[in-house]
Structure 1
Amino acid sequence: MRQKLARVIGGVAMLALVAGGTACSSGGDDTASGGDKCGKKIAFFGALTGSSAALGINENNGVKLAVEQYNKDNADCKVELVPLDSQGSPDQAPSLAQKAIDDEKILGLVGPAYSGESEAADPLFNEAGLVHITASATRPSLSQQGWKTFFRAVGNDFSQGPAAGNYIKNVMKAEKVYVIDDQSAYGAGLADEVKKVLGSAVAGSDKVQGDGKQVDFSGVVTKVKAANVGAVFYGGYYQEAGLIRKQLTAAGVTAPLVAGDGVNDQAYIDSAGAAAAEGTILTCPCQPAAEARGTFKEEYKKLTGAEPGTYSDTAYDAANILLAGIKAGKTDRASLLEFVKNYSGEGVAATYKFVEGGELDPAQVKVWAFKVQGGQVVPDQEIPKS
């Protein structure tokens, strides 16, 4: 049987799951922050500091909103949120994963946020039986490792990459494209999928260093300028993308930059400068936050003082899936894992049902193109799946 979420989330009515009070007993000696006696926890795993922090903060705030709403409705049996700051580094991921595993009160996680840190942490979560739902790690191979605890609340690069390629080919009608990636698990994989779609239109390709290791991109800028292309695709994250766009513009390259969800953040515009970033196309296997159902957008802004960013709503939904399981009395790791595996229900960003490997049901995946316009990232159009 598919489980249904039992509370009103972000103003969206969910189907009834259980009667109130079945989650856990308010008795016992365990205590958690806030004075309740249940002591159950969920965690967020992602970058909260460092050069990759913007996306992680977006997601953590979504999770925080979900937990605060849950605790307001379940004051006698609250759930604690544990933020795990990975700084987006695969090198830090194993020790951070072990920290989560060792805390037996952590029943599930939202994250890891990035593909590289997922590759490093997820085998440990699988061995420990700790369920985790990533709101943003899109490398396809993550679902192909046989990990029983891995779930993905968005489409993978097999959906985003072809969509980006089709947008370049069919909407922009670029006849020559230069493709760059940052050699990360995410960036290289996404660039490879774009290349498959573009085929002979790829006039050249190159690799740069990510994670803040490179700031001078004059070498690749010279190659792009010589290729005289109609578009540049970048597989990687916003910190390098902003510098590349800035340096391309300074060199007189006017071809628009196209990039994936790792660049879909205001931080990219801040890095590139509004004038250089203007016209950039950013894809995402997610809908615009403004399209989120119910009152999510208003409630998020009330909590954080900011508009929801990329994957804020998806992380919110992922957290609510875990919280629905806890509400249903799935208060050990094995039973919560089984709950998530069989979950089906509505969130504010999408309808959720997981298929083989923990992937989101392909029928529920949407890919959108966003455009930088007037110094802001604004929705452009939903991209057809094929």
Structure 2
Amino acid sequence: MRRNKVFATGVAALALGLSLTACGTTEDGGNGGSDADCDVKLAFFGPETGDAAGLGKPIIQGTQLAIDQYNEDADCKVEFVKYDSQGSPDEAPALATEAAGDESLIGVVGPAFSGESAAAGDTFAEAGLPTITPSATNPTLADNGWDTFHRALGNDATQGPAAAKYIKDTVKAGKVFVIDDASEYGAGLAGIVEKDLADAVVGTDTIQQKQTDFSATVTKVTDAKPDAVFFGGYYAEATILVGQLRDGGFDGTFVVADGVKDPAFLDAKDAAEGTIITCPCIPDTEPAVAEFAADYEAEFGEAPGTYAAEAYDAATIFLDGIDEGVDNRADMLEFVNNYDDEGITKQLKFDEKGEPADVHVYAYTVKGGAIVPEGEIK
């Protein structure tokens, strides 16, 4: 699925000059051939294991697919490495230092989550290691002055208002209770939704990640008698929370965001039915991602999960640079900063803060035990 690219003139000229040296030579003086490895690596940074591994898996596989397709016809193979943070801000700094120390690593797809992005961002910036996250949505990440930071999807400053609009205009909830999980992502998103809903908010509460007893929160919700509950957090807690809310008598609409858009949320069974999920991630039913979805399913035996397509786009940006001869971090950073090309999820271009120029937010509903796309929230 390689495409013709449009690059800034300066970057294209630089890439042309580098193209003669990007690949190593074999002992017999050849160019390395189709089985040679270049001394360049791309990495995934995020949860491969742990409670949030379900959200990391599609990102890993989307990145893997892009690299595998590139390597099929490449004179020099790109190596894919993974840094398993388990989605934890506590694990991220040491892993970021490890990644930064590998000079052959010239691009990172990730970090996957907002908390680990905040914890690792300074290290990546100091090392000049460009990152493109396909999934971390806290708006403040772009305000840290990291020239290495890029985001391949809309942040929560767009998702939060879209969720609030959907709650007001489509769900038509007059009273809403807002809950967050105290994470950088969940608390930030819930705060935006709360602000946008304004007087419609009849109560708020904060839970903790890995918490399993939500009885105190359930009591607060049932006392407030809301039409809808919005939860800012991840699927591990949402799966338990929605069950306890239903058991406690809440019969309104449960509304969540991209951190819950994982098949594991369906373990809540009947309690999950009717849940609204917002996400700045394109549905695999959209024509633009049809070929990608087919290729993904052929390689991994399953449909693309949340942010698989965004990860594919992020990896493709780096691979396009490598294809043009870029073989070091400084040149890759310049290449990414000047990138402007059509991806499978959107037009891929970044502003001076690393935010995407093209943003879309979609709604999904849990129906019949499946997460079903409802369309873009305009």
The alignment's TM-score, normalised by the length of structure 2, stands at 0.93
Structure 1: state its 5+ residue gaps: 1-7
> 1:369 and 2:363 equivalent?
yes
Quote how far apart the aligned CAs of 1:251 are.
1.4
* AA partner of residue 265 (structure 2): Y
Give, in angstroms, the shift of residue 21 of structure 1: 6.5
Contact 1:23-1:330 within 8 A present in 2 as well:
no
Alignment counterpart, residue 14 of structure 1, candidates 4, 12, 15: 4
Cα distance per residue 1:58-108 (max 9 Å; x no partner): 10000000000000010x300000011110000000011011111111001
Give the CA RMSD over aligned residues.
Answer: 1.8
Equivalent residues in 2 for 1:33-52 (5 A)? 36-52=36-52
The residue number in structure 2 matching 1:84 is 83
CA distances 1:252-278 after superposition (whole Å, capped 9, x unpaired): 2111110110011111112x2x21100
Number of equivalenced pairs: 364
Quick check: 1:288–1:379 contact (8 Å CA) kept in 2?
yes
The equivalent residue for 1:5 is none
SS at match of 1:377: strand
The code of the aligned residue for 1:239 comes to A
Q: Which runs of 5+ in 2 are unaligned?
A: none
Q: Distance in 1 between matches of 2:42 and 2:189?
A: 30
CA distance in 1 between partners of 2:192 and 2:23 (Å): 49
Residue in 1 aligned with 2:305?
A: 309
Which of 303, 315, 322 aligns to 1:319? It is 315
- Offset of 1:37 from its aligned partner? 3.7
Deviation of the 1:16 alpha carbon? 6.8
- The answer for the alignment partner of 2:355 in structure 1 is 359
Distance 2:175 2:325 in 1: 56
* Per-residue CA distance 1:205-224 (angstroms, 9 max, x = gap): 000001x2x10101101111
Alignment of 1:181-220 (within 5 A): 181-210=180-209, 212=210, 214-220=211-217
Aligned to 2:277: 282
Shift of 1:25: 2.3
Alignment partners' CA distance in 2, 1:172 and 1:23:
58
User: Aligned pair in 2 of structure 1 residues 356, 167: CA closer, same or farther (>3 Å)?
Assistant: same
Change in 2 beyond 3 A, CA 1:245/1:330: same
* Structure-1 residue corresponding to 2:333: 337
Is the 8 Å Cα contact of residues 27 and 38 (structure 1) preserved in structure 2? no
Residues 298 and 218 from structure 1, CA distance in 2 versus in 1: closer, same or farther, beyond 3 angstroms? same
Q: Distance in 1 between matches of 2:289 and 2:50?
A: 31
Confirm or deny: 8 A CA contact 1:143 1:359 kept in the other structure: yes
C-alpha deviation, 1:28, in angstroms: 6.0
Q: Which moved more, 1:334-343 or 1:246-255?
A: 246-255
One-letter amino acid of the structure 2 residue matched with residue 172 of structure 1: V
Q: How does 1:1-386 map to 2 (within 5 A)?
A: 8-9=1-2, 13-15=3-5, 24-27=22-25, 36-74=36-74, 76-210=75-209, 212=210, 214-270=211-267, 272=268, 274-291=269-286, 292-361=288-357, 364-384=358-378
TM-aligned CA deviation for residue 26 of structure 1: 3.5
TM-score, length of structure 1 as denominator length: 0.91
Summarize the Cα distance change of 1:23–1:58 in structure 2 as closer, same or farther, 3 Å threshold: farther
Residue 294 of structure 1: CA displacement?
4.9
Please identify, of 247-256 and 162-171, the stretch whose mean Cα deviation from structure 2 is larger: 247-256
Provide runs of 4+ in structure 1 moved above 6 Å: 16-21
For the residue of structure 2 that corresponds to 1:229, the secondary structure is: coil
Partner of 1:3: none
SS in 1 for 2:289: coil
Q: Give the drift of 1:54.
A: 0.7
Over the matched positions of the two proteins, sequence identity in percent amounts to: 51
Look up the SS of the partner of 2:76 in the other structure.
coil
Name the structure 2 match of 1:4. none
Alpha carbons 2:6, 2:340 under 8 Å: kept: no
Distance in 1 between residues matched to 2:318 and 2:21, nearest whole Å: 12
**Aligned partners of 1:23 and 1:327 also within 8 Å:** no
Q: 1:143 to 1:16 in 2, by over 3 A?
A: closer
